[in-house]
Structure 1
Amino acid sequence: MNENNTNYNPNYNQDNNQRNKKPKHKFSFEAKLIIGLAAALLVGMLGGALSKMTNMASELKGGSNSEFEKQLAKDTYVNDKPLENTAVLTDVSLDNDVTKVIEENMPSIVSITCEVESQVTNFFGQTYNQIQQGAGSGIIIGEDETYYYISTNNHVIAGAKSITVTFCDDKDVKASVKGADSTGDLAVVTVKKKAVEDSTKKAIKIAKLGNSKDVKVGDSVVAIGNALGLGQSSTVGVVSALDREVSISNVKRKLIQTDAAINGGNSGGALLNMNGEVIGINSAKLVEDKVEGMCFAIPITNAQTILKELMNGEEVPKGKEGYLGLSGVSVSEQESETYHIPLGVYVREVPEGGASYKAGVQAGDVVTKLNGVGVATIQALQERANSYRAGTQVTLTVERYKDGTYEELELKLTLMSSDDFGKLKYSSNTTNGQDNSQDKTAPNDNSNGYSDEDKQKIYDYFKDYFGN
């Protein structure tokens, strides 16, 4: 035994060791050649890839017309066809982000609080009047030497005993109604400049109005308003649909649909595009168990004609309002579809000597516009007439049935005074003309303001249509 052999193993067995060794694989010449070629190719590919990555990095820094972008565009397919003009995002601009839109437009939005007197019945059946508060929003759309002009919805200020406007700096100022249009659901209120503090004047700004005809489905939008009367807040969404026909209180309107939340108190606020322009006036929300995110705004381009007239219209003193001198009822959607009568105000009677009689208005006509602004209800027609001073000449647009169809006529009419209007004589089945004809029907009566005699007149008028 060799004591110097430190690797000595008493269990060592040479035969076993030989058996435990794995046999070496021998490659043929052809195999070695293939492996060599593959290795060379792999090295070449790695080198090319590194070179390509370097070029890509260089090209991306160089601009948007790089060879990389051109190749990417050529390699993009839609429906098995190459898309050669694919845009590649190389730079993101934050000039029009939501935060900036909100910050720049908050000063042009106001909160509106109204006090309305309503009749309340208590547990014991006693009825009494109670002052209640309602909340809405508004947009500062103009100014002159005396006033700031603020647009809102008619339903926000309708019946208000007092109106308070809160500006972006939380300063409150009393406001008054300049004009309202119930058909368009629009109104303008004014705030006297001398009642506004100098610090507030510096904080607020006039809104920038856009063109709603340029709006496209999918455009991002921001809604700002006085949600739930808690103060100004904003929501974000997209334009879901355009010219969506919505019927509210028997009046059809074509509105912008959006999924930006418009809650109670947002009415009258602004719907803005990403350029910070007002494209709509927040108006309504569809509330149903199966519906979520269907909110609507009045297109600003449609609203501007009415708003300008309301802003520029003369402030008529009480007792000096103009009157048409006719009796009429609103044509509902159902009646319009059933009898093929245009939506508007169906003229029941035109008493002799009145303004409408002198202008050539006839019983059976349907009034659709006054001075180019649509009127869908008798209340709207009254409001429009009363917004002008007696003696003012206006244009009344009517639809007249002739030879089985309706034709549109424009009649020039000089509004009469309240005194002259009160002297007109109506038939026994018609109450005091245009003022009370709509309120004549009992609450549970389904006649919609039509007496039996009226219905017979309608039937006689359309007997050719009915085939008798």
Structure 2
Amino acid sequence: MKEVKSESSIKTFQLHKNYRKRIISAGEFEISDLKLPKETGAERCFAVDKKKQEEYHFVKEHIKKIPIDRKKLRTRLFGTILLAVLFGVVAAAVFAALRPVFDNLLYRKDNTVVISGEDEISEETPEENAPVYITETQLMEPEDYQVLQNKLYAIGREANKSVVAVRGIGEATDWFDNAYETESQGTGIIVADTGDEYLVVTEKKVISDASQVEVTFYNNDTASAVLQAYDENTGIAMLCVEKRQLSADTTDQVAAATLSSFSALSQGTIVIAIGSPLGEPFSILTGNVTSSSYEVSTVDANYKVISTDINASDAGSGALINLKGEVVGLMLQSYSTREAQSTVTAISISQISKLLEKMSNGESPAYLGLEICTVTAEIAKSNELPKGIYIKQVSPDSPAMQAGIQVGDVLTKIDSKEILTAEQYEDCIMNAKDGQQSTVTVKRMGADGKYQDLRFKVVFGTLQEN
């Protein structure tokens, strides 16, 4: 294919070819003599760019803002609010559904029953500028004694609102295999109100052979009761009565007894017996404390017995209260001496408050099987015994006997806790649980007459009914 050149391109080529030739004109000069500035590469590029800009100068770009779509904006805002409300409703529903679960995990409700009555020591500080009282002796008339007696009985009637009559119903057969109903009666004291139920302490012998237990309140309202726990050592039982069985009138009148926190009762202290000291429920008798120093040694515990001059029967039961209406003793006629069987005998409530608290929470006390006494400094010196608690008796088939503990040993330690008094031993037993394994350290006299430390592994149990 032949290349065809245009006329303009030929002229341009010839112009460049003859660039150095002399051109004769009217002035007649050589073009070489014309001094022209040489064109640089940058200038040539700028000239080309400028030419291109001139060729496309008709293209102009303007950035214009997009107008706001208010309808679309309102739709999005409404959708956001709707989603937020929906999220809040769902979150609230989920929280309400899961709240009981989290409350149970994070804030476990403590249903432990706490019973007051433990011995406390109060420190009274003398008041400044205390008033001075002038006493004047005044003879009392017989009518004045009646006024005082009426006030005592008024205290007893108020305290009887914490008393219930306990009735144990059972079945038995005669010689001819004929079934008949048996019944035993006693008195119980309401020692705690959990909100849903009343906890009543009574004697185990009243319900030992019963298949059904009923309690009658101060206003003659009757309800069924179930055994919560019992202590075979003292013969005390704890009953549970659901409040939903009772009328609103009964729950308004009934109240748990107030337990005294002081155990010091001196001779001559006025006390009031409530319950059924002579066998009749809701009876009231008044009298005085005749003795409070007599101590009964039982398995794993020692108790001080309160003796009074108030008449009582062998089947009498109830409680002793002070002039404030507080329970100071639980009536247990089985602890009376032979000479005082016809009078009211009680155990100090402050000594058994921990036992009642444990039974109120459905636990029977732990059992080791030792009868003990404290080796005081005087006893240790006169009998050449080490300090601790002397073991007077070991119950047959008890955890202590099975471990190898013997009469005459002096117990000095349970696990890492040093035991020097009977009270410390009783606290350890009260804090122990059925099935708990512990190490008991005793001192036993050897063949050379010297005491040596021996350690025994024991497993606590519970004292079973004989």
Aligned partner letter, 2:186: G
Please say if residues 405 and 456 of structure 2, whose CA atoms lie closer than 8 Å, have aligned partners that are also in contact.
no
Q: 2:249 aligns with which of 169, 186, 199?
A: 199
Gap runs ≥5 in structure 2: 1-131, 374-389, 418-429
Aligned partner letter, 1:213: S
Task: Answer yes or no: is 1:180 the counterpart of 2:221.
Answer: no
Q: Call closer, same or farther: CA 1:363–1:131 in 2, change over 3 Å.
A: farther
5 Å matches for 1:162-173? 162-173=212-223
User: Distance in 1 between the 2:394 and 2:195 partners?
Assistant: 38
Point out the structure with max Rg over C-alpha: 2
Please say if residues 370 and 394 of structure 1, whose CA atoms lie closer than 8 Å, have aligned partners that are also in contact.
no
Tell me how far 1:299 sits from its aligned partner.
0.6
Aligned partner letter, 1:224: I
Tell me how far 1:214 sits from its aligned partner.
2.8
Q: Call closer, same or farther: CA 1:291–1:347 in 2, change over 3 Å.
A: closer
5 Å matches for 1:263-274? 263-267=313-317, 269-274=318-323
Q: TM-score, normalised by structure 1?
A: 0.51
Tell me how far 1:363 sits from its aligned partner.
5.9
Please say if residues 372 and 391 of structure 2, whose CA atoms lie closer than 8 Å, have aligned partners that are also in contact.
no
Superposed CA deviations along residues 74-101 of structure 1, whole A, max 9, x for unmatched, are: xxxxxxxxxxxxx635998969930221
Task: Answer yes or no: is 1:208 the counterpart of 2:262.
Answer: no
Tell me how far 1:415 sits from its aligned partner.
6.8
Aligned partner letter, 2:292: L
5 Å matches for 1:34-433? 65=134, 88-89=137-138, 97-117=151-171, 122=175, 131-227=181-277, 229-246=279-296, 253-267=303-317, 269-284=318-333, 293-313=342-362, 342-346=392-396, 361-362=403-404, 364=406, 393=436, 401-403=444-446
Please say if residues 115 and 163 of structure 1, whose CA atoms lie closer than 8 Å, have aligned partners that are also in contact.
yes
Aligned partner letter, 1:156: V
Residue identity (%): 23
User: Distance in 2 between the 1:118 and 1:370 partners?
Assistant: 46
The residue number in structure 1 matching 2:28 is none
User: Distance in 2 between the 1:266 and 1:397 partners?
Assistant: 40
Tell me how far 1:193 sits from its aligned partner.
1.5
Aligned partner letter, 2:360: M
Please say if residues 184 and 303 of structure 1, whose CA atoms lie closer than 8 Å, have aligned partners that are also in contact.
no
SS in 1 for 2:263: helix
SS in 2 for 1:169: coil
Gap runs ≥5 in structure 1: 1-62, 70-86, 316-321, 334-339, 373-383, 417-433, 440-468
Q: Call closer, same or farther: CA 1:172–1:212 in 2, change over 3 Å.
A: same
CA RMSD after TM alignment: 5.1
User: Distance in 1 between the 2:404 and 2:156 partners?
Assistant: 52
Tell me how far 1:161 sits from its aligned partner.
2.2
Tell me how far 1:342 sits from its aligned partner.
1.8
Superposed CA deviations along residues 290-320 of structure 1, whole A, max 9, x for unmatched, are: 76753310110011010011112359xxxxx
Aligned partner letter, 2:187: S
User: Distance in 1 between the 2:158 and 2:455 partners?
Assistant: 44
Superposed CA deviations along residues 99-129 of structure 1, whole A, max 9, x for unmatched, are: 2211211100111111245676x4xxx6887
Aligned partner letter, 2:348: P
Aligned partner letter, 1:362: G
User: Distance in 1 between the 2:197 and 2:437 partners?
Assistant: 27
User: Distance in 1 between the 2:277 and 2:305 partners?
Assistant: 20
Aligned partner letter, 2:359: L
Please say if residues 262 and 282 of structure 1, whose CA atoms lie closer than 8 Å, have aligned partners that are also in contact.
no
